[in-house]
Amino acid sequence: MAREKWLCYKQIQENHEGKSMKNYFLKFFWQFLALALGMRVLFWRYQLPARYLIPRPLHMLYGILLLIGVLVMAEIDMKKQEIPNSVLLYFLALGLLRLGLDWPNHLSYLSGFLLMGGLLLLIAIISGGNLGGGDIKLMALAGLCLGLRDVFIALALASILASIIGLVLLLTKKIRRDTPIPFGPFLGAGIYLAYLFGSHIWQWWMS
């Protein structure tokens, strides 16, 4: 009897470990795929005309650092529904780096930081705290990374993506109306898309 219990326990433990290992590899695969796809789009976006065949190294490097930060932030927010201070410090460092690399446009980055942070803080107060403090800090720092125009494009893209995916999940009954959905991954997608295509989106909108 004791041996049967031990064998049953061992089988359950092995199944659990197998599932955990499978989930780990699946998560690693999707993260690697997202990183590879993001870097491929980044290379395509910031490559000079074909006759030069020279990528713009600073844009490439900054884009890779931004992509890594976005993926790490999204992973943590999906798991814990919070954005830790260590991730926010990373985005602060990216914002200061961008400020140093593009100092002639420093007013755009500083105003993006102040206006986006102030707007989202006001929305959080009016809505009774429906917007998390981590999201507010993240988007304020995104203003420092992207500038005034592109950070508002990032917020618009994040809101559109969240609305579409939330509606699909509701219609397919994957979630209920009261199910909390972390906003961080959508903000991350909006930030990265705005970094890559903000100027194109703005030109399309104004045309």
User: DSSP per residue over 46-65, as a string?
Assistant: TBPPTTT--B-HHHHHHHHH
Specify the pLDDT at position 51: 40
pTM value is: 0.80
Amino acid residing at 49: P
Domain assignment present for 89:
yes
Same domain as 139, residue 101: yes
Domain assignment present for 140:
yes
Same domain as 25, residue 126: no
Domain assignment present for 177:
yes
Domain that holds residue 138: 65-206
Tokens of 57: 């190294």
Are 126 and 133 spatial neighbours (Cβ–Cβ below 8 Å)? no
Tokens of 179: 């199910």
Same domain as 196, residue 107: yes
Same domain as 76, residue 31: no
Same domain as 194, residue 136: yes
The enclosing H or E element of 205 equals: helix 184-206
Q: Give residue-wise pLDDT tens across range 131-179.
A: 889 999 999 999 999 999 999 999 999 999 999 988 988 888 887 887 8
Domain assignment present for 114:
yes
DSSP string, 95-149: HHHHHHHTGGGHHHHHHHHHHHHHHHHHHHHHTTS-S-HHHHHHHHHHHHHH-HH
Same domain as 135, residue 39: no
Same domain as 81, residue 18: no
Among the listed residues 70, 98, 75, 95, the one whose alpha carbon sits nearest the alpha carbon of residue 158 = 70
Same domain as 136, residue 38: no
Domain assignment present for 58:
no
Total domains present in the chain: 2
Same domain as 72, residue 24: no
Q: Give residue-wise pLDDT tens across range 104-130.
A: 999 999 999 999 999 999 999 998 877
Arithmetic mean of pLDDT, 50-65: 69
Same domain as 88, residue 12: no
Q: What is the mean pLDDT of the chain?
A: 81
Same domain as 23, residue 73: no
Residues above pLDDT 90, as percent of the chain:
47
> What phi and psi values does residue 47 have, to the nearest 5 degrees?
-95, 140
Nearest 5°: the CA angle 166, 167, 173 is 90
Per-residue pLDDT band for 50 (boundaries 50, 70, 90) equals very low
Residue environment code for 133-172, b if the CB has 16+ CB neighbours within 10 A, otherwise e? ebbbbbbbbbbbbbbbbbbbbbbebbeebbeeebeeeeee
Q: Give residue-wise pLDDT tens across range 171-201.
A: 888 878 878 788 999 999 999 999 988 988 9
Domain assignment present for 54:
no
Same domain as 87, residue 17: no
Domain assignment present for 57:
no
Domain assignment present for 28:
yes
